[in-house]
């Protein structure tokens, strides 16, 4: 996997989080998708960052 610039990585993780919310996914569903779809990748950092954005935007939505 090529290294992403910080701003590009941020945009991807933010997009992942917002799209999950717009599609009505729960945090549990998002974790399951990232863990199964990205099995061969080191997904821990991506998942942590995505969940941070997911939680932040979910609070804003409420």
Question: Are the C-beta atoms of residues 53 and 13 closer than 8 Å to each other?
Answer: yes
Task: Give the number of other Cβ atoms within 10 Å of residue 15's Cβ.
Answer: 12
pTM beyond cutoff 0.85: no
pLDDT tens digits along 27-40: 999 999 888 876 67
Name the token pair of 62: 């409420």
Question: Are the C-beta atoms of residues 54 and 21 closer than 8 Å to each other?
Answer: yes
- Domain ranges within the chain, ordered by starting residue: 6-61
50 pLDDT above the threshold of 60: yes
Instruction: Residue 1: name the closest of 42, 37, 35 by CA.
Output: 42
What pLDDT was estimated at residue 51? 95
């Amino acid at each position: 996997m090529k290294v992403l610039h910080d701003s590009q990585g941020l945009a991807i993780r933010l997009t992942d989080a917002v799209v999950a919310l717009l599609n009505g996914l729960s945090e549990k569903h998002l974790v399951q998708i990232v863990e199964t779809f990205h099995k061969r990748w080191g997904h821990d950092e991506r998942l942590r960052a995505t969940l941070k954005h997911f939680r932040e935007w979910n609070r804003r939505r409420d």
